[in-house]
C-alpha cells in the first residue's frame, strides 16, 4: 500500500486492535515482513531503528493476540507532512479489517504529531489498495517513474488530516457578527466565551461592547472600534490583555473630513490610552507576528482570526502603487472575496483589482458567495501552497535595478496548472 509495499483493503472489524509497537515486537514484525514480501523487505536493523527513532512511529495490529499487520509512519519536526512508509497485512488475516485499522491508526499517529497531511506511494497495479485509498479520502497528486524493483510506476496519494491541536479542544464558540461595524466586539465575545464557559454571547452584549470600545466615526454610517478600547473592555471583564500596534495613535483620523469628528475621536482614544495605562495593560509598538503568536499558542492560548469583508473604506494607495510594491517584494498573494448575490451594491466585490494583485503576487483570487464556502476556499489555497516548488538560477544582470520578466514552461503542460510570478526587480547582488 505504501512505500515499496502493498496490502489488500479490508472492512474494519472491532476484533482488530492497533497499538504502538515496542522493541519486544521486533521479532513478530520481521516474521510478518518475510511472510508478506518476496523481496525488498525491511532489515532487522531498519526495523529496530524505526522502533527507537523519534521521527518514526511503528504500529502493529493484533487479532486474537497475534500480530497480523504492521505499518511505519515517518515524521519530521520541520514538516507538516507525514509519510506512510510501509504497511503490511498477513494474508491469513485478509478480510478482517486489518488494513483499514492500520491506515486509520497511521492517520491518528500523524495527526497527533501536528501533521496536516499523510502521503504514501502505491504500485499502479495494486488496484485494491488504490480503491481503499480513494474510498478513505486520499487523492492522487503525482507519479514516480519506475519506482519499484519490477520497474513499475508508483502513484502518489495524500490525505489532509484533522489536526489534534491541544488548544482546539477548548476552542471558543463561534459568534457571527450581526452588523457591518461590530467585527471587533464579535471577537471580544468569543474571547470572553473562551475565558468563561458559562458566558453566552448575544447580540445585546455585542452592542454593549461596541458602545464601550468604539472611538471611530464613519462618513456613511456607524463607526468601529480601536485596539485600546477593546483591550480596556476585556480587562474590565476579567481577561488579561496586551496591545500590539505597529505605530502610536491616534488612529483613523484621516478617515473623516470633519474637524469636529476628528477632535472627538482624538479625545476618546487618548482617554482609552490613559485608562489602559492605569489598568497596567502592556503596550508593544510592534506587529504581533509569529514570534508573539507561537509562544502564546504553545502556552494554551487560542487564536481568533478576524477576516475582513474587504470593503475599501479608507485606502490611500492606488492599484498601480500596490502592484509596484508587490514587484519589489517576495510576497505570495492569494485573495478570497465573499460576494453575496443579495448584498448592497456598495458592498459588492470588484474582483478585477484582486485578480490583478494576486497575479502579481504569484497567487490567485477566488470569489465565493457565502461564508460557508470560506473553509473549502482556504483549504484549496493551503493545498496549493503545500505543493509549490522553488526554482532558482543566477541571472547575468543581477543588481541592475530593472524589472525582468520570467516565464515558466514545463513538459506536458496540458497536464499541469502553472502559476508563477511574472518577474522580479533586480535589487543588489542576489540569486533567484
Cα–Cα distance measured from residue 73 to residue 150, given in angstroms and rounded to the nearest whole number: 24
The tens-digit pLDDT sequence of the chain (432 residues) is 333 343 333 344 558 899 999 999 999 999 998 888 877 788 899 999 999 999 999 999 998 888 999 999 999 877 888 999 999 888 888 888 898 999 999 999 998 888 888 999 998 988 888 988 998 889 888 888 888 878 888 899 999 887 655 545 666 778 888 887 888 899 899 888 888 888 899 999 999 999 888 876 555 556 677 889 999 999 998 888 889 888 888 887 777 778 888 888 888 889 999 999 999 999 998 877 778 887 887 777 777 776 655 555 556 677 787 777 777 777 778 888 877 776 666 566 778 888 888 887 778 888 888 777 777 888 888 877 777 777 777 777 667 777 778 777 777 655 666 777 777 777 654 333
Q: What span, in angstroms and rounded, lies between the C-alpha atoms of 286 and 246?
A: 5
* 311 three-state secondary structure: coil
pLDDT at 343: 62
Structural domain boundaries in the chain:
16-164, 169-306, 311-383, 389-432
User: Are β-strands 403-405 and 423-425 bridged in parallel, bridged antiparallel, or unpaired?
Assistant: antiparallel
What CATH number was assigned to the domain covering residues 16-164?
A: 3.40.630.30
Which residues, 6 or more positions from 108, have their beta carbon under 8 angstroms from its beta carbon? none
Predicted pLDDT of residue 281:
93
> What CA–CA distances, in Å, run from 336 to 108, 210, 339, 366, 382?
31, 27, 10, 5, 12
Contact criterion met (CB below 8 Å) for 132 and 1: yes
> Is the N-terminal amide bond of 250 cis, ω within 30° of 0?
yes
Grid cell in block for residue 432: 533567484
What local confidence, expressed as pLDDT, does residue 431 receive?
37
Chain position carrying cell 532558482:
392
Name which of 406, 401, 402, 432 is nearest 419 in CA terms: 406
d(CA 8, CA 131): 9
C-alpha cell at 69: 499487520
User: Parallel, antiparallel, or unpaired: how do β-strands 66-74 and 81-89 relate?
Assistant: antiparallel
Burial class of 282 by CB neighbour count within 10 A (0 to 12, 13 to 18, 19+): exposed
Decide: 189 and 209 in contact? Cβ < 8 Å: yes
Q: What is the pTM of this model?
A: 0.46
Among candidate residues 315, 313, 218, the one with its CA nearest the CA of residue 265? 218
Which uninterrupted H or E stretch holds 250? none
Q: Cβ contacts of residue 432 below 8 Å, gap of 6+?
A: 392, 393, 394, 395, 424
Amino acid at each position: 500500500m505504501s512505500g515499496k509495499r502493498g496490502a489488500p483493503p479490508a472492512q474494519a472489524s472491532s476484533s482488530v486492535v492497533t497499538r504502538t509497537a515496542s522493541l519486544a515486537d521486533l521479532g513478530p514484525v520481521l516474521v510478518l515482513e518475510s511472510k508478506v514480501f518476496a523481496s525488498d523487505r525491511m532489515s532487522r536493523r531498519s526495523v529496530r531503528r524505526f522502533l527507537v527513532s523519534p521521527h518514526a512511529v511503528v504500529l502493529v495490529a493484533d487479532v486474537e493476540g497475534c500480530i497480523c499487520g504492521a505499518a511505519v509512519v515517518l515524521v519530521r519536526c520541520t514538516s507538516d507532512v507525514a509519510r506512510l512508509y510501509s504497511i503490511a497485512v498477513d494474508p491469513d488475516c485478509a478480510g478482517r479489517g486489518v488494513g483499514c485499522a492500520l491506515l486509520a491508526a497511521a492517520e491518528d499517529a500523524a495527526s497527533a504529531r501536528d501533521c496536516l497531511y499523510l502521503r504514501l506511494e502505491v504500485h499502479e497495479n495494486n488496484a485494491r489498495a488504490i480503491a481503499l485509498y480513494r474510498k478513505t479520502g486520499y487523492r492522487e497528486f503525482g507519479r514516480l517513474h519506475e519506482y519499484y524493483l519490477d520497474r513499475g510506476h508508483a502513484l502518489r496519494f495524500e490525505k489532509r488530516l484533522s489536526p489534534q491541536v491541544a488548544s482546539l479542544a477548548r476552542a471558543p464558540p463561534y459568534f457571527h457578527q450581526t452588523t457591518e461595524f461590530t467585527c471587533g466586539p464579535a471577537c471580544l465575545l468569543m474571547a470572553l466565551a473562551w475565558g468563561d464557559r458559562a458566558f453566552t454571547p448575544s447580540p445585546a452584549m455585542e452592542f454593549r461592547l461596541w458602545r464601550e470600545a468604539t472611538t471611530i466615526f464613519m462618513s456613511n454610517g456607524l463607526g468601529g472600534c480601536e485596539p485600546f478600547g477593546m483591550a480596556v473592555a476585556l480587562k474590565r471583564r476579567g481577561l488579561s490583555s496586551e496591545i500590539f500596534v505597529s505605530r502610536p495613535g491616534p488612529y483613523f483620523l484621516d478617515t473623516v473630513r470633519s474637524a469636529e469628528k476628528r477632535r472627538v475621536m482624538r479625545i476618546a482614544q487618548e482617554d482609552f490610552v490613559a485608562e489602559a495605562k492605569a489598568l497596567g495593560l502592556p503596550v508593544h509598538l510592534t506587529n504581533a507576528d509569529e514570534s508573539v503568536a507561537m509562544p502564546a499558542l504553545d502556552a494554551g492560548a487560542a487564536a481568533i482570526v478576524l477576516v475582513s469583508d474587504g470593503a475599501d473604506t479608507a485606502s490611500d494607495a492606488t492599484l498601480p502603487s500596490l502592484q509596484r510594491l508587490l514587484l519589489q517584494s517576495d510576497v505570495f498573494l492569494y485573495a478570497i472575496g465573499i460576494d453575496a448575490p443579495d448584498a448592497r451594491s456598495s458592498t459588492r466585490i470588484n474582483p478585477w483589482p484582486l485578480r490583478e494583485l494576486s497575479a502579481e503576487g504569484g497567487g490567485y483570487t477566488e470569489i465565493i458567495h457565502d461564508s460557508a464556502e470560506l473553509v473549502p476556499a482556504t483549504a484549496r489555497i493551503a493545498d496549493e501552497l503545500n505543493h509549490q516548488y522553488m526554482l532558482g538560477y543566477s541571472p547575468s544582470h543581477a543588481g541592475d535595478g530593472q524589472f525582468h520578466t520570467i516565464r515558466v514552461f514545463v513538459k506536458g503542460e496540458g497536464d499541469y496548472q502553472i502559476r508563477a510570478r511574472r518577474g522580479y526587480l533586480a535589487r543588489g547582488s542576489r540569486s533567484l
